[in-house]
C-alpha cells in the first residue's frame, strides 16, 4: 500500500496492452509492435477480455490498480469500428480520459517488414516530434487529446539528461490538412556520420512500424479530476524547457 501511495517522485509509467474478445490480425500485429517498442515499461496480456471501453470502463480500472499501470492500450475489432485501438489513461486507478484510433489496414507496415541491419535497443528514450496545426489548437479537441495520450505512450522514461549516443531513434506523428483526417505515426533510426566539422551529419532511415490512424470516439477528462492529476508535489522544480503533459501520474 505504501508503494501505491502518492510519491514525491513517481515511478515510470507502465503501459498495459490488452485485447478484446474479437480482435483482428491487424490489431494484434499493431499491439505486438507497440509493446516491443515500449519495453521494459510494458505488460502484455494475450487473454481475451469482454470489455466495451466507452460503455463500461470498470475493467480498465481493475487492471490499472492490479498492475500499477496508468496507461492501457486495448485492441478490438467490429464491423462498425474496425481495427480499433483504445488508449486509456488513469489517475488514482480511475479512468481519466480515452481516445479511440482506428488502424488503416491498407497502409500498415509492421516492424518486421523493415529490413534494417540494426534497430533501436530496448529501453532507449526516443525523440518525439508532432507535426500539424491540428495538434496545436488552444482549445481541447480530439487531436489535442490524441497528441497528449500518444506523447505519454511514446516518450519513454523520465531522465535528467540524455547521452547523444543514446539517441538512436525518433517517432514522428503528423496530422494531415482539413481534407486528410489521418494521424500518421512513423519510426526512424538516427545515424550520425562524420561531417568534417564540429557537428556530425545526421541521417534518418525508417525502421517501422508505419501506422495510419483515423480518429474514433474520445472521452475528455473531467475538469476536477484533471486538475488533481496535474497537481505537482511541493518541492518539485519545473524546468523552463517544454514539458509533456504528465496526465495519469499517481
* Cα angle: 92, vertex 240, 159; to 5 degrees: 60
The number of C-alpha atoms within 13 Å of 66 and in the hemisphere containing its C-beta is 10
| Per-domain residue ranges of the chain | 15-223
- pLDDT tens string 22-77: 999 999 999 999 999 999 999 999 999 888 889 888 899 899 888 988 899 999 99
Cα 76 off chain centre by: 17
Element (H, E) at 34: helix 25-38
Q: Tell me which fold the domain 15-223 belongs to.
A: Rossmann fold (3.40.50)
CA gap 14, 122 in Å, rounded: 15
Query: Taking the alpha carbons of 40, 157, 18, 184 in that order, is the dihedral positive or negative?
Result: negative
More confident residue, 168 or 239: 168
CA gap 140, 148 in Å, rounded: 11
Q: Residue 248: pLDDT band by 50, 70, 90 thresholds?
A: very low
**Phi, then psi, of 181 in degrees rounded to 5:** -90, 5
pTM for this predicted structure? 0.84
Helix (H, G, I), strand (E, B) or coil at 133: helix
CA gap 42, 56 in Å, rounded: 24
The number of C-alpha atoms within 13 Å of 63 and in the hemisphere containing its C-beta is 26
Radius of gyration for the alpha carbons in the chain, expressed in angstroms and rounded: 18
Q: Residue 236: pLDDT band by 50, 70, 90 thresholds?
A: low
pLDDT for 6 equals: 55
What percent of the chain lies above the pLDDT cut of 70?
86
- pLDDT tens string 89-100: 998 888 899 999
Mean pLDDT of the residues in the chain: 84
CA gap 230, 106 in Å, rounded: 38
CA gap 41, 73 in Å, rounded: 13
Q: Which distant-in-sequence residues (6+ apart) come within 8 Å of 226 by Cβ?
A: 96, 97, 247
Three cell numbers written together for 225: 479530476
Residue 9 has pLDDT above 70, yes or no: no
pLDDT for 231 equals: 75
Helix (H, G, I), strand (E, B) or coil at 65: helix
Amino acid at each position: 500500500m505504501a508503494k501505491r501511495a502518492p510519491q514525491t517522485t513517481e515511478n515510470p509509467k507502465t503501459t498495459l496492452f490488452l485485447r478484446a474478445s474479437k480482435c483482428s490480425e491487424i490489431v494484434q500485429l499493431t499491439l505486438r509492435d507497440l509493446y516491443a517498442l515500449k519495453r521494459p515499461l510494458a505488460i502484455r496480456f494475450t487473454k481475451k477480455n469482454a470489455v466495451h471501453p466507452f460503455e463500461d470502463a470498470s475493467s480498465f480500472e481493475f487492471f490499472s490498480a492490479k498492475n500499477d499501470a496508468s496507461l492501457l492500450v486495448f485492441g478490438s475489432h467490429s464491423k462498425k469500428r474496425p481495427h480499433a485501438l483504445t488508449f486509456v489513461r488513469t489517475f488514482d486507478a480511475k479512468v481519466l480520459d480515452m481516445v479511440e484510433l482506428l488502424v488503416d489496414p491498407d497502409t500498415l507496415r509492421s516492424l518486421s517488414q523493415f529490413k534494417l541491419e540494426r534497430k533501436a535497443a530496448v529501453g532507449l528514450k526516443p525523440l518525439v516530434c508532432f507535426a500539424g496545426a491540428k495538434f496545436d489548437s488552444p482549445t481541447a479537441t480530439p487531436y489535442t487529446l490524441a497528441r497528449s495520450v500518444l506523447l505519454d505512450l511514446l516518450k519513454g522514461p523520465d531522465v535528467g539528461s540524455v547521452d547523444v549516443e543514446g539517441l538512436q531513434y525518433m517517432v514522428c506523428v503528423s496530422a494531415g490538412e482539413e481534407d486528410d483526417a489521418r494521424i500518421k505515426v512513423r519510426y526512424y533510426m538516427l545515424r550520425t556520420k562524420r561531417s568534417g566539422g564540429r557537428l556530425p551529419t545526421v541521417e534518418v532511415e525508417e525502421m517501422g512500424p508505419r501506422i495510419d490512424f483515423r480518429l474514433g470516439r474520445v472521452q475528455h477528462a473531467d475538469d476536477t479530476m484533471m486538475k488533481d492529476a496535474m497537481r505537482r508535489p511541493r518541492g518539485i522544480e519545473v524546468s523552463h524547457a517544454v514539458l509533456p503533459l504528465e496526465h495519469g501520474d499517481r
